[in-house]
Amino acid sequence: MTSSSATIEPQKTQRATLIRRVASRSGMLPAAFVIWRTLREWTPSLVLRNRRLRKKHESGIPVPPGNLLFSATGSRDVNWFLSSGESTASAFREALTSIDRPIESFGKIFELGSGCGRVLRQWADVKGPRFFASDYNPRGIEWGRSNLPFVSFAVNKLEPPLPFDDAQFDLCYAVSVFTHLPEHLQEPWLREMRRVTRPGGMLIVTLSGEGDLVRVTPEEQRRFFAGELVVVDEKFAGTNMCGVYHPESYVRTHWSPYFRLLRFIPEGAKGSPKQDLYVFERTA
């Protein structure tokens, strides 16, 4: 697979990528990440818009506090939090309908890496399934237990296992989770997701692919198009500072022992518009 347009970075983005690598090597990336993300969007207009949206949702499912939004998504933008969650849920519905498995047809549904409920809140009115979720940030789980009563929550660690039974779920999904897990963590989590998914059950994931390549160096792009998994800042595994990029060919080869690929939708995640959407089936 090749794409000449994807291997050429805009000059501004390339500079930002190089600056990020320097910050990482110097040990300053965590502080620089917070400062950059904050300055990029912290404007008076955003503060006012966030305040209006929080007030609007006071009578329904509230919006998580700003520090929790930031830790889970890297952004404090309430409008993005709400709209991207809705778009991701819509993309999942469309993908499931395309294989004649609407979300209402499942009995038990599980989200790995639920954060503070960006996607989970979209299922509040879904009739039929029971919902479960886990995350390794206990603050997000605490918020979810207080505000999303239709979901059963658990805290997981950076590595498996999950506190669930074998073959417990009919549908599992993970939104931008494997995008922050280096290869040595991906295999254990694939085995664990297979364990908790019943035979014939579904797994949906969003992964950074060709659409996200402006974030990596030309050499990393070359490796990506050669079919290699590209991992950036592995030492920050499990956080937004660690970036992992999945070629389609890599997924087809390395994930096939655990799940059968049913749908591959390039840049189909919608809520994370540059991420690819994959739909798998757990074979017997």
Confidence of residue 29 (pLDDT cuts 50, 70, 90): low
Output the pLDDT for position 10. Answer: 54
Beta strands 169-174 and 197-208 are parallel
Q: Give the pLDDT confidence of 16-26 residue by residue, as tens digits.
A: 666 666 666 77
**Which pLDDT does position 6 carry in this prediction?**
40
28 Cβ neighbours under 8 A, 6+ residues apart: none
Work out the mean pLDDT of the chain and round it to a whole number.
Answer: 90
Q: Which amino acid is at 215?
A: R
DSSP structural state of residue 114? -
Which residue would you say has higher pLDDT here, 144 or 215?
144
Task: Supply the pLDDT for residue 8.
Answer: 41
Reduce the DSSP state of residue 201 to 3 states and report it: strand
pLDDT value of position 214: 79
AA letter at 82: L
Sign of CA pseudo-dihedral 256, 259, 265, 266: negative
Strands in 75-185 per DSSP E: 108-112, 130-135, 151-155, 169-174
Task: Give the angle 101-104-109 at the CA atoms, nearest 5°.
Answer: 90
What amino acid occupies position 148? L
Domains of the chain: 77-281 (3.40.50.150)
pTM above threshold 0.85: yes
Rounded distance between C-alpha atoms, residue 149 and residue 153, angstroms:
9
Nearest to 15 by CA among 217, 223, 209: 217
Note the pLDDT of residue 2: 35
pLDDT in tens, 235-256: 999 998 899 999 999 999 999 9
Instruction: Calculate the CA 273 to chain-centre distance.
Output: 11
Distance CA 263, CA 253 (A): 15
Q: Are 81 and 74 in contact (CB under 8 A)?
A: no
Q: List, in order, residues 6 or more apart from 44 with CB less than 8 Å away.
A: none
Q: Which of 42-51, 150-159, 168-177 has the lowest mean pLDDT?
A: 42-51
Judged by average pLDDT, the poorest of 26-30, 154-158, 163-167, 257-261 is 26-30
pLDDT at 17: 67
* The pLDDT of residue 27 is above 80: no
Partners of residue 132 on adjacent β-strands: 110, 152
Tokens of 264: 């591959």
Q: How confident is the model at residue 3 (pLDDT cuts 50, 70, 90)?
A: very low
Predicted pLDDT at 25:
72
Q: What percentage of the chain exceeds 70 in pLDDT?
A: 87
Query: What pLDDT score was predicted for residue 278?
Result: 98
Say whether pLDDT at 71 is over 80: yes
* Separation CA 24–CA 40 (nearest Å): 19
Q: How confident is the model over 60-69, as a mean pLDDT?
A: 94
Residue with tokens 């950074």: 208
The mean per-residue pLDDT over the stretch 210-230 comes to 93
Lowest mean pLDDT among 36-45, 69-78, 168-177: 36-45
Which of 136, 247, 250 is closest to 187 using CA atoms?
Answer: 250
| HSE-CB for 198 with a 13 A CA cutoff | 11
User: How far is 238 from 115, CA to CA, in rounded Å?
Assistant: 12
Summarize pLDDT for 168-214 with one digit per residue, the tens.
999 999 999 999 999 999 999 999 999 999 999 999 999 999 998 87
